[in-house]
Structure 1
Amino acid sequence: MRERRPGVVPHAVGAAAAALAGYRVFVRPRLLTWGATDDEAARRFPGDELIPAAGSSSTMATTLPAPPEEVWPWLVQMGCNRAGWYSWNRLDNGGRPSADRIVPKWQQLEVGQRLDSVPSGRSWFTVALLVPGRTLVLRAQLELPSGRPFEARSGAPPRAFVDSLWGFHLAPVPGGHTRLVVRSRSRSRPRPLTRPLDLLFGEPAHLIMQTRQFRTLRARVGAPQGTEPPP
Protein backbone atom coordinates (compact mmCIF):
# COMPACT_ATOMS: atom_id res chain seq x y z
CA MET A 1 0.00 0.00 0.00
CA ARG A 2 1.34 3.38 -0.96
CA GLU A 3 2.31 5.50 2.00
CA ARG A 4 0.84 8.99 2.05
CA ARG A 5 3.46 11.69 2.45
CA PRO A 6 2.93 13.93 5.47
CA GLY A 7 1.60 17.37 4.67
CA VAL A 8 0.31 16.58 1.17
CA VAL A 9 -3.39 16.79 2.06
CA PRO A 10 -3.12 19.97 4.15
CA HIS A 11 -1.06 21.56 1.38
CA ALA A 12 -3.68 20.65 -1.24
CA VAL A 13 -6.49 21.96 0.96
CA GLY A 14 -4.59 25.18 1.56
CA ALA A 15 -3.93 25.65 -2.15
CA ALA A 16 -7.60 25.07 -2.96
CA ALA A 17 -8.68 27.55 -0.30
CA ALA A 18 -6.24 30.14 -1.63
CA ALA A 19 -7.48 29.62 -5.18
CA LEU A 20 -11.10 29.99 -4.07
CA ALA A 21 -10.29 33.15 -2.15
CA GLY A 22 -8.47 34.58 -5.16
CA TYR A 23 -11.42 33.76 -7.41
CA ARG A 24 -13.90 35.46 -5.10
CA VAL A 25 -11.77 38.58 -4.58
CA PHE A 26 -10.20 39.16 -8.00
CA VAL A 27 -12.05 37.13 -10.66
CA ARG A 28 -15.69 36.91 -9.64
CA PRO A 29 -16.30 40.69 -9.40
CA ARG A 30 -15.03 41.06 -12.98
CA LEU A 31 -17.30 38.25 -14.18
CA LEU A 32 -20.34 39.86 -12.58
CA THR A 33 -19.66 43.32 -14.07
CA TRP A 34 -18.30 42.43 -17.51
CA GLY A 35 -18.26 45.53 -19.71
CA ALA A 36 -20.10 47.69 -17.17
CA THR A 37 -18.83 50.90 -15.65
CA ASP A 38 -18.69 51.35 -11.89
CA ASP A 39 -21.68 53.68 -12.13
CA GLU A 40 -23.72 51.15 -14.11
CA ALA A 41 -22.87 48.35 -11.70
CA ALA A 42 -23.92 50.45 -8.69
CA ARG A 43 -27.04 51.97 -10.24
CA ARG A 44 -30.56 50.76 -9.55
CA PHE A 45 -32.51 49.78 -12.65
CA PRO A 46 -36.24 49.33 -13.18
CA GLY A 47 -37.27 45.86 -12.12
CA ASP A 48 -34.69 45.51 -9.35
CA GLU A 49 -37.48 46.03 -6.84
CA LEU A 50 -39.19 42.82 -7.97
CA ILE A 51 -36.46 40.82 -6.19
CA PRO A 52 -35.31 43.21 -3.44
CA ALA A 53 -33.28 40.65 -1.48
CA ALA A 54 -31.38 39.04 -4.33
CA GLY A 55 -28.92 36.31 -3.46
CA SER A 56 -27.11 36.79 -6.76
CA SER A 57 -26.83 39.81 -9.05
CA SER A 58 -24.79 40.84 -12.07
CA THR A 59 -24.53 43.85 -14.38
CA MET A 60 -23.05 43.45 -17.86
CA ALA A 61 -22.99 46.01 -20.63
CA THR A 62 -21.95 46.79 -24.18
CA THR A 63 -22.27 49.57 -26.74
CA LEU A 64 -24.17 48.71 -29.92
CA PRO A 65 -23.61 50.52 -33.25
CA ALA A 66 -27.22 51.67 -33.72
CA PRO A 67 -29.69 53.94 -31.90
CA PRO A 68 -32.16 52.44 -29.38
CA GLU A 69 -35.07 52.52 -31.81
CA GLU A 70 -33.14 50.13 -34.08
CA VAL A 71 -31.98 47.86 -31.24
CA TRP A 72 -35.38 47.53 -29.57
CA PRO A 73 -37.06 45.41 -32.31
CA TRP A 74 -34.34 42.78 -31.96
CA LEU A 75 -35.02 42.49 -28.23
CA VAL A 76 -38.80 42.45 -28.55
CA GLN A 77 -38.76 39.37 -30.76
CA MET A 78 -36.56 37.24 -28.48
CA GLY A 79 -37.67 33.83 -27.26
CA CYS A 80 -37.61 30.18 -28.22
CA ASN A 81 -40.08 29.45 -31.01
CA ARG A 82 -39.62 33.10 -31.95
CA ALA A 83 -36.35 34.81 -32.89
CA GLY A 84 -34.20 32.87 -30.42
CA TRP A 85 -31.89 34.47 -27.88
CA TYR A 86 -28.93 35.47 -30.12
CA SER A 87 -26.56 33.40 -28.00
CA TRP A 88 -25.18 29.87 -28.39
CA ASN A 89 -28.08 28.30 -30.27
CA ARG A 90 -27.15 24.73 -29.41
CA LEU A 91 -27.47 25.59 -25.74
CA ASP A 92 -30.47 27.89 -25.60
CA ASN A 93 -32.48 27.46 -28.81
CA GLY A 94 -32.51 23.75 -29.59
CA GLY A 95 -29.86 24.22 -32.25
CA ARG A 96 -32.05 26.54 -34.32
CA PRO A 97 -30.33 29.66 -35.64
CA SER A 98 -31.48 32.93 -34.10
CA ALA A 99 -33.24 35.33 -36.45
CA ASP A 100 -31.05 37.53 -38.62
CA ARG A 101 -33.82 39.97 -39.50
CA ILE A 102 -36.74 41.80 -37.94
CA VAL A 103 -39.91 39.70 -38.09
CA PRO A 104 -43.13 41.76 -37.90
CA LYS A 105 -45.28 39.01 -36.37
CA TRP A 106 -42.99 38.91 -33.31
CA GLN A 107 -43.01 42.65 -32.66
CA GLN A 108 -46.04 42.64 -30.36
CA LEU A 109 -45.12 42.28 -26.68
CA GLU A 110 -46.98 43.08 -23.47
CA VAL A 111 -46.59 42.67 -19.73
CA GLY A 112 -47.61 39.19 -18.62
CA GLN A 113 -46.79 37.59 -21.97
CA ARG A 114 -44.85 34.33 -21.85
CA LEU A 115 -41.70 33.79 -23.90
CA ASP A 116 -40.62 30.15 -24.14
CA SER A 117 -37.21 29.60 -22.60
CA VAL A 118 -36.89 26.10 -24.12
CA PRO A 119 -38.13 24.84 -27.51
CA SER A 120 -40.60 22.44 -25.84
CA GLY A 121 -42.42 25.38 -24.24
CA ARG A 122 -42.42 23.63 -20.85
CA SER A 123 -40.73 26.59 -19.17
CA TRP A 124 -40.78 30.24 -19.97
CA PHE A 125 -39.92 33.82 -19.09
CA THR A 126 -42.77 36.18 -18.27
CA VAL A 127 -42.58 39.81 -19.37
CA ALA A 128 -42.49 41.56 -15.99
CA LEU A 129 -41.79 45.13 -17.08
CA LEU A 130 -41.95 46.84 -20.45
CA VAL A 131 -41.10 50.41 -21.43
CA PRO A 132 -40.89 50.50 -25.23
CA GLY A 133 -37.49 51.53 -26.50
CA ARG A 134 -36.00 51.62 -23.01
CA THR A 135 -36.62 48.66 -20.70
CA LEU A 136 -37.51 44.98 -21.01
CA VAL A 137 -37.46 42.85 -17.87
CA LEU A 138 -38.11 39.11 -18.05
CA ARG A 139 -38.82 36.90 -15.04
CA ALA A 140 -38.52 33.13 -14.58
CA GLN A 141 -39.82 31.32 -11.50
CA LEU A 142 -38.91 27.64 -11.42
CA GLU A 143 -39.48 24.90 -8.90
CA LEU A 144 -36.46 22.74 -8.11
CA PRO A 145 -35.43 20.12 -9.10
CA SER A 146 -38.25 19.64 -11.64
CA GLY A 147 -37.77 22.98 -13.41
CA ARG A 148 -41.53 23.48 -13.57
CA PRO A 149 -42.67 27.12 -13.62
CA PHE A 150 -44.67 28.45 -10.69
CA GLU A 151 -46.37 31.73 -9.90
CA ALA A 152 -45.39 33.09 -6.49
CA ARG A 153 -48.33 35.48 -6.54
CA SER A 154 -50.77 32.58 -6.20
CA GLY A 155 -49.30 31.53 -2.85
CA ALA A 156 -46.09 30.70 -1.04
CA PRO A 157 -43.21 29.58 -3.30
CA PRO A 158 -42.12 25.92 -3.27
CA ARG A 159 -39.64 24.68 -0.68
CA ALA A 160 -36.93 24.62 -3.37
CA PHE A 161 -37.00 27.18 -6.17
CA VAL A 162 -35.17 29.84 -8.18
CA ASP A 163 -36.76 33.20 -8.98
CA SER A 164 -34.74 35.24 -11.47
CA LEU A 165 -34.89 38.47 -13.45
CA TRP A 166 -33.21 39.26 -16.76
CA GLY A 167 -33.43 42.95 -17.53
CA PHE A 168 -32.42 44.83 -20.69
CA HIS A 169 -31.94 48.59 -20.35
CA LEU A 170 -31.21 50.85 -23.33
CA ALA A 171 -29.89 54.40 -23.42
CA PRO A 172 -28.73 56.54 -26.36
CA VAL A 173 -25.06 57.52 -26.47
CA PRO A 174 -23.25 59.95 -28.78
CA GLY A 175 -22.68 58.87 -32.35
CA GLY A 176 -26.12 57.33 -32.78
CA HIS A 177 -25.19 54.31 -30.67
CA THR A 178 -26.91 52.48 -27.81
CA ARG A 179 -25.63 51.58 -24.39
CA LEU A 180 -27.20 48.23 -23.48
CA VAL A 181 -27.00 47.29 -19.81
CA VAL A 182 -28.19 43.83 -18.77
CA ARG A 183 -29.03 43.37 -15.10
CA SER A 184 -29.72 39.91 -13.71
CA ARG A 185 -30.99 39.20 -10.19
CA SER A 186 -32.12 36.03 -8.51
CA ARG A 187 -33.14 34.50 -5.21
CA SER A 188 -33.28 30.80 -4.50
CA ARG A 189 -33.50 28.18 -1.79
CA PRO A 190 -32.24 26.11 -0.14
CA ARG A 191 -29.19 28.38 -0.19
CA PRO A 192 -26.70 25.76 1.07
CA LEU A 193 -27.41 23.92 -2.20
CA THR A 194 -28.15 26.72 -4.66
CA ARG A 195 -25.29 29.02 -3.58
CA PRO A 196 -22.49 26.64 -4.69
CA LEU A 197 -24.36 26.00 -7.94
CA ASP A 198 -24.56 29.75 -8.57
CA LEU A 199 -20.83 30.19 -8.00
CA LEU A 200 -19.62 27.15 -9.91
CA PHE A 201 -22.12 26.99 -12.76
CA GLY A 202 -24.79 29.70 -12.91
CA GLU A 203 -22.60 32.80 -12.92
CA PRO A 204 -19.94 31.53 -15.37
CA ALA A 205 -22.66 30.15 -17.68
CA HIS A 206 -24.46 33.49 -17.66
CA LEU A 207 -21.23 35.28 -18.60
CA ILE A 208 -20.63 32.91 -21.52
CA MET A 209 -24.18 33.21 -22.83
CA GLN A 210 -24.51 36.96 -22.26
CA THR A 211 -21.26 37.93 -23.97
CA ARG A 212 -22.24 35.79 -26.95
CA GLN A 213 -25.59 37.59 -27.11
CA PHE A 214 -23.81 40.95 -27.05
CA ARG A 215 -21.58 39.86 -29.90
CA THR A 216 -24.51 38.64 -32.01
CA LEU A 217 -26.54 41.79 -31.39
CA ARG A 218 -23.61 43.96 -32.45
CA ALA A 219 -23.45 42.02 -35.71
CA ARG A 220 -27.23 42.16 -36.25
CA VAL A 221 -27.75 45.87 -35.65
CA GLY A 222 -24.55 46.80 -37.50
CA ALA A 223 -25.57 44.95 -40.66
CA PRO A 224 -27.89 46.39 -43.33
CA GLN A 225 -31.42 46.17 -41.91
CA GLY A 226 -33.48 43.38 -43.39
CA THR A 227 -37.15 43.03 -42.55
CA GLU A 228 -39.21 39.98 -43.32
CA PRO A 229 -42.17 41.06 -45.47
CA PRO A 230 -45.52 40.77 -43.69
CA PRO A 231 -47.74 37.83 -44.72
Structure 2
Amino acid sequence: MGTDGFVRGRTWGLVAVTSLAAHTAFIRPRLLTWGASSDEVTRAYPGDELVPNADGSSTMATTLPAPPTEVWPWLLQMGCNRAGWYSWDRFDNGGQRSADRIVRDWQSLEVGQHLDAVPSGDAWFTVAVLDTQKTLVLRSALVLPFGRPFDPLSGTAPGSYVDSIWGFHLAPAAGGRTRLVVRTRSRSRPRLLTRPMDVLFWEPAHLVMQSRQFHNLCMRLRAGG
Protein backbone atom coordinates (compact mmCIF):
# COMPACT_ATOMS: atom_id res chain seq x y z
CA MET A 1 0.00 0.00 0.00
CA GLY A 2 1.36 3.40 -0.97
CA THR A 3 1.48 6.45 1.28
CA ASP A 4 -1.75 7.86 -0.15
CA GLY A 5 -3.52 4.55 0.36
CA PHE A 6 -2.26 4.30 3.91
CA VAL A 7 -3.49 7.83 4.70
CA ARG A 8 -6.88 7.13 3.16
CA GLY A 9 -7.15 3.90 5.12
CA ARG A 10 -6.36 5.66 8.38
CA THR A 11 -8.82 8.45 7.54
CA TRP A 12 -11.67 6.03 6.84
CA GLY A 13 -10.79 4.07 9.96
CA LEU A 14 -10.96 7.24 12.03
CA VAL A 15 -14.30 8.17 10.46
CA ALA A 16 -15.69 4.70 11.24
CA VAL A 17 -14.49 4.80 14.86
CA THR A 18 -15.83 8.33 15.35
CA SER A 19 -19.19 7.43 13.81
CA LEU A 20 -19.51 4.35 16.00
CA ALA A 21 -18.64 6.37 19.10
CA ALA A 22 -21.23 9.02 18.19
CA HIS A 23 -23.86 6.38 17.57
CA THR A 24 -23.15 4.68 20.89
CA ALA A 25 -23.06 7.91 22.90
CA PHE A 26 -25.85 9.97 21.34
CA ILE A 27 -28.00 8.14 18.80
CA ARG A 28 -28.43 4.66 20.26
CA PRO A 29 -29.75 5.80 23.69
CA ARG A 30 -32.45 7.79 21.90
CA LEU A 31 -33.34 4.85 19.67
CA LEU A 32 -33.84 2.67 22.74
CA THR A 33 -35.96 5.19 24.71
CA TRP A 34 -38.16 6.70 22.00
CA GLY A 35 -41.04 8.65 23.54
CA ALA A 36 -40.33 7.50 27.12
CA SER A 37 -39.67 9.70 30.12
CA SER A 38 -36.61 9.17 32.32
CA ASP A 39 -38.88 7.77 35.03
CA GLU A 40 -40.41 5.26 32.59
CA VAL A 41 -36.97 4.21 31.39
CA THR A 42 -35.61 3.51 34.88
CA ARG A 43 -38.77 1.96 36.35
CA ALA A 44 -39.09 -1.81 36.79
CA TYR A 45 -42.05 -3.46 35.06
CA PRO A 46 -43.70 -6.86 35.46
CA GLY A 47 -41.93 -9.40 33.30
CA ASP A 48 -38.48 -7.79 33.61
CA GLU A 49 -37.51 -10.61 35.95
CA LEU A 50 -38.03 -13.19 33.20
CA VAL A 51 -34.75 -12.06 31.59
CA PRO A 52 -32.76 -11.10 34.70
CA ASN A 53 -29.33 -10.76 33.07
CA ALA A 54 -30.39 -8.98 29.93
CA ASP A 55 -27.82 -8.07 27.28
CA GLY A 56 -30.18 -5.57 25.71
CA SER A 57 -33.22 -3.54 26.69
CA SER A 58 -35.44 -0.79 25.34
CA THR A 59 -38.28 1.30 26.72
CA MET A 60 -40.54 3.17 24.31
CA ALA A 61 -43.78 4.95 25.07
CA THR A 62 -46.70 6.92 23.70
CA THR A 63 -49.96 8.45 24.90
CA LEU A 64 -53.06 7.00 23.26
CA PRO A 65 -56.36 8.89 22.88
CA ALA A 66 -58.56 6.46 24.85
CA PRO A 67 -58.67 4.95 28.35
CA PRO A 68 -57.06 1.55 29.13
CA THR A 69 -60.45 -0.16 28.92
CA GLU A 70 -60.55 0.70 25.20
CA VAL A 71 -56.85 0.09 24.45
CA TRP A 72 -56.73 -3.33 26.10
CA PRO A 73 -58.95 -5.20 23.56
CA TRP A 74 -56.62 -4.17 20.74
CA LEU A 75 -53.66 -5.71 22.57
CA LEU A 76 -55.55 -8.88 23.46
CA GLN A 77 -56.15 -9.77 19.83
CA MET A 78 -52.60 -9.25 18.56
CA GLY A 79 -50.76 -11.98 16.70
CA CYS A 80 -50.32 -13.39 13.22
CA ASN A 81 -53.40 -15.34 12.10
CA ARG A 82 -55.31 -13.10 14.51
CA ALA A 83 -55.50 -9.29 14.35
CA GLY A 84 -51.88 -8.80 13.32
CA TRP A 85 -49.43 -6.47 15.04
CA TYR A 86 -50.71 -3.07 13.77
CA SER A 87 -47.27 -2.26 12.39
CA TRP A 88 -45.74 -2.65 8.92
CA ASP A 89 -47.87 -5.59 7.81
CA ARG A 90 -45.71 -6.41 4.81
CA PHE A 91 -42.85 -7.26 7.13
CA ASP A 92 -44.47 -8.77 10.21
CA ASN A 93 -47.87 -10.07 9.10
CA GLY A 94 -47.21 -11.71 5.75
CA GLY A 95 -48.73 -8.77 3.90
CA GLN A 96 -52.12 -9.34 5.54
CA ARG A 97 -53.57 -6.07 6.79
CA SER A 98 -53.92 -5.87 10.57
CA ALA A 99 -57.47 -5.72 11.88
CA ASP A 100 -59.11 -2.30 12.11
CA ARG A 101 -61.84 -3.42 14.50
CA ILE A 102 -62.24 -5.42 17.69
CA VAL A 103 -62.99 -9.09 16.95
CA ARG A 104 -64.79 -10.94 19.74
CA ASP A 105 -63.30 -14.34 18.80
CA TRP A 106 -59.81 -13.01 19.57
CA GLN A 107 -60.58 -11.51 22.97
CA SER A 108 -59.70 -14.63 24.98
CA LEU A 109 -56.10 -14.81 26.14
CA GLU A 110 -54.37 -16.71 28.95
CA VAL A 111 -50.89 -17.22 30.35
CA GLY A 112 -49.04 -19.92 28.41
CA GLN A 113 -50.98 -19.36 25.20
CA HIS A 114 -48.99 -19.18 21.97
CA LEU A 115 -49.41 -16.27 19.56
CA ASP A 116 -47.98 -16.87 16.11
CA ALA A 117 -45.02 -14.57 15.44
CA VAL A 118 -45.05 -15.41 11.72
CA PRO A 119 -47.97 -16.44 9.48
CA SER A 120 -46.61 -19.99 9.07
CA GLY A 121 -46.85 -20.56 12.83
CA ASP A 122 -43.27 -21.89 12.88
CA ALA A 123 -42.33 -19.36 15.59
CA TRP A 124 -44.43 -17.84 18.31
CA PHE A 125 -44.67 -15.62 21.34
CA THR A 126 -45.83 -17.14 24.62
CA VAL A 127 -48.09 -15.09 26.89
CA ALA A 128 -45.89 -14.80 29.99
CA VAL A 129 -47.67 -12.16 32.10
CA LEU A 130 -51.30 -11.11 31.88
CA ASP A 131 -52.88 -8.50 34.15
CA THR A 132 -56.13 -7.21 32.67
CA GLN A 133 -55.97 -3.63 31.39
CA LYS A 134 -52.51 -3.21 32.92
CA THR A 135 -49.87 -5.59 31.56
CA LEU A 136 -49.34 -8.00 28.70
CA VAL A 137 -45.88 -9.55 28.39
CA LEU A 138 -44.99 -11.81 25.47
CA ARG A 139 -41.90 -14.03 25.48
CA SER A 140 -39.98 -15.51 22.57
CA ALA A 141 -37.06 -17.96 22.83
CA LEU A 142 -35.39 -19.02 19.59
CA VAL A 143 -32.44 -21.17 18.58
CA LEU A 144 -30.14 -19.27 16.23
CA PRO A 145 -29.63 -18.92 13.34
CA PHE A 146 -32.79 -20.62 12.07
CA GLY A 147 -35.33 -19.32 14.59
CA ARG A 148 -36.57 -22.64 15.96
CA PRO A 149 -38.43 -22.10 19.28
CA PHE A 150 -37.18 -23.69 22.49
CA ASP A 151 -38.47 -23.75 26.06
CA PRO A 152 -36.60 -21.16 28.16
CA LEU A 153 -37.98 -22.76 31.34
CA SER A 154 -36.32 -26.12 30.63
CA GLY A 155 -33.20 -25.12 32.56
CA THR A 156 -30.88 -25.59 29.60
CA ALA A 157 -30.25 -23.26 26.69
CA PRO A 158 -28.73 -24.06 23.29
CA GLY A 159 -25.30 -22.70 22.41
CA SER A 160 -26.75 -20.05 20.10
CA TYR A 161 -30.04 -18.46 21.05
CA VAL A 162 -32.05 -15.36 21.84
CA ASP A 163 -34.51 -15.18 24.75
CA SER A 164 -36.59 -12.00 24.83
CA ILE A 165 -39.69 -10.36 26.21
CA TRP A 166 -41.98 -7.74 24.68
CA GLY A 167 -44.05 -6.11 27.40
CA PHE A 168 -47.01 -3.73 27.07
CA HIS A 169 -47.79 -1.69 30.18
CA LEU A 170 -50.85 0.56 30.42
CA ALA A 171 -51.64 3.36 32.86
CA PRO A 172 -54.47 5.92 32.89
CA ALA A 173 -53.44 9.38 31.71
CA ALA A 174 -55.11 12.78 31.99
CA GLY A 175 -58.06 13.48 29.76
CA GLY A 176 -59.26 9.88 29.58
CA ARG A 177 -56.15 8.77 27.74
CA THR A 178 -53.67 5.91 28.20
CA ARG A 179 -49.96 5.97 28.69
CA LEU A 180 -48.59 2.88 26.91
CA VAL A 181 -45.04 1.86 27.79
CA VAL A 182 -43.40 -0.95 25.82
CA ARG A 183 -40.42 -2.63 27.45
CA THR A 184 -38.17 -5.18 25.73
CA ARG A 185 -35.42 -7.23 27.32
CA SER A 186 -33.25 -9.87 25.70
CA ARG A 187 -30.38 -12.22 26.33
CA SER A 188 -28.53 -13.87 23.45
CA ARG A 189 -25.49 -15.99 22.70
CA PRO A 190 -22.87 -15.89 21.33
CA ARG A 191 -22.54 -12.17 21.99
CA LEU A 192 -19.61 -11.83 19.61
CA LEU A 193 -22.13 -12.41 16.83
CA THR A 194 -25.43 -11.25 18.29
CA ARG A 195 -24.30 -7.86 19.64
CA PRO A 196 -23.36 -6.40 16.22
CA MET A 197 -26.69 -7.61 14.84
CA ASP A 198 -28.53 -6.03 17.77
CA VAL A 199 -26.85 -2.65 17.38
CA LEU A 200 -26.80 -2.46 13.60
CA PHE A 201 -30.11 -4.11 12.72
CA TRP A 202 -32.51 -5.29 15.44
CA GLU A 203 -32.55 -2.14 17.56
CA PRO A 204 -33.23 0.25 14.63
CA ALA A 205 -35.75 -2.24 13.21
CA HIS A 206 -37.58 -2.39 16.55
CA LEU A 207 -37.87 1.41 16.62
CA VAL A 208 -39.31 1.44 13.09
CA MET A 209 -41.84 -1.29 13.87
CA GLN A 210 -42.76 -0.11 17.36
CA SER A 211 -43.30 3.52 16.40
CA ARG A 212 -45.50 2.35 13.52
CA GLN A 213 -47.54 0.22 15.92
CA PHE A 214 -48.00 3.22 18.21
CA HIS A 215 -49.19 5.32 15.26
CA ASN A 216 -51.61 2.69 13.98
CA LEU A 217 -53.07 2.02 17.42
CA CYS A 218 -53.66 5.74 17.79
CA MET A 219 -55.42 5.93 14.42
CA ARG A 220 -57.64 2.94 15.23
CA LEU A 221 -58.62 4.38 18.58
CA ARG A 222 -59.44 7.74 17.05
CA ALA A 223 -61.61 5.98 14.49
CA GLY A 224 -63.47 4.22 17.28
CA GLY A 225 -62.95 0.69 15.85
TM over 0.5: same fold?
yes
Structure 2 match to 1:172: 172
Equivalent AA in structure 2 for residue 64 of structure 1:
L
Shift of 1:5: 3.6
Q: Report SS of the residue matched to 2:45.
A: coil
Residue 135 of structure 2 corresponds to: 135
1: CA distance between counterparts of 2:108 and 2:5?
67
Match of 1:73 in 2: 73
Match of 1:108, as an amino acid?
S
Question: Following the alignment from structure 2 to structure 1, what is the Cα–Cα distance between the partners of residues 135 and 9?
Answer: 51
CA displacement, residues 93-115 of structure 1 (integer Å, 9 cap, x when unaligned)? 00000000000000000000000
- Partners of 2:6 and 2:189 lie apart in 1 by 40
Who is 1:40 aligned against?
Answer: 40
Report the Cα offset of residue 43 of structure 1.
Answer: 0.4
Cα deviation digits, residues 184-225 of structure 1 (max 9, x gap): 000000000000000000100000000000000000111123
Partner in structure 2 of residue 191 of structure 1: 191
1:146 equivalent to 2:143? Answer no
Residue of structure 1 equivalent to 2:52? 52
The residue type paired with residue 148 of structure 1 is R
Q: Residue 207 of structure 2: SS of its match in structure 1?
A: helix
RMSD in angstroms over aligned alpha carbons? 1.2
Q: Give the drift of 1:146.
A: 1.6
1:219 aligns with 2:212: no
- After TM superposition, where is structure 1 displaced by more than 4 Å over at least 4 residues in a row? 1-4
Give 5+ residue unaligned stretches, structure 1: 226-231
**Partners of 1:57 and 1:224 in 2: CA distance:** 33
The residue aligned with 1:83 is 83
Distance 1:14 1:47 in 2: 41
**Structure 2 equivalent of residue 95 of structure 1:** 95
Using the TM superposition, give the Cα deviation of residue 2 of structure 1 relative to its aligned residue in structure 2, in angstroms.
8.7
Alpha-carbon distance in 1 for matches of 2:94, 2:75: 19
Secondary structure class of the residue paired with 1:83: coil
- Unmatched 5+ stretches in structure 2: none
| Cα drift, residue 40 of structure 1 | 0.2
**How many Å separate the matches in 1 of 2:26 and 2:149?**
35
Q: How many residues are treated as equivalent by the alignment?
A: 225
Shift of 1:6: 3.9
Residue identity in the other structure for 1:27: I
CA deviation after TM superposition for structure 1 residue 4, in Å: 4.3
Separation in 2, partners of 1:155, 1:183? 24
Deviations 1:15-65 (A, max 9, x none): 110000000001000000000000000100000000011000000000000
